[in-house]
Structure 1
Amino acid sequence: MKLFNKYKFSDKSQALGGLISTAMGILSLLSFGYGVYLSFKAAGEGGLRVGSLGILSLILAVIGTVIGLISFKEDNKFYGTSRFGSMLCGVIAVFMIAVFLMGI
């Protein structure tokens, strides 16, 4: 006796906004990581270069969060990357805002 077969036959694909949001989150993480690397290498005297990487990371994260949240409006799509990208970008954005507020 077969209980349940969990086959999924669907023509759905991932939401485009979710893929873009995830990519922007990864780029934001890379930008932040490179800024931290440059700051350690310069013994905390990174200056404008490190600050501009931080601002870039924040901007990418905020835009990625907005795109990820908007992607939930796409019809007949899977939203796994939308959830992941929105959460990733949201966490990075909150973290970067906290870093900037500590520096003020």
Structure 2
Amino acid sequence: MAWLYVIVGGLFETAFAVSLKESQGFSRLWWTLSFAISVIISMVLLGIGLRDLPVGTAYAVWTGIGAAGTAIVGMLFMNDPASMLRISAIGLIVGGVVLLNLAGGTAH
């Protein structure tokens, strides 16, 4: 269950990054509120996940999901460039997350 919290928290990390961009420097109220709510949810979920998971692994997975998710959303919906190099880099991030999970995901 701890991994579910970290994964969903990572998805909210993507939401807060996109909301931050769309807030245009906190000048758009609804995007600013979306950013603030997403940050809170993301951090709370990460914190709950950290009760049972090693901090290094959980944090790396959380940031990996956020980074890859934000890059994908940017390419699909925000006109970010979608080169093979960028797509390969996302694949490396996802691969690193998978390897961290395989290396062991429970705290002792």
Instruction: State the TM-score bracket (shorter-chain normalisation).
Output: 0.3 to 0.5
- Bigger Rg over Cα: 1
Normalised to the residue count of structure 1, the TM-score between the two structures is: 0.44
Larger proportion of helix? 2
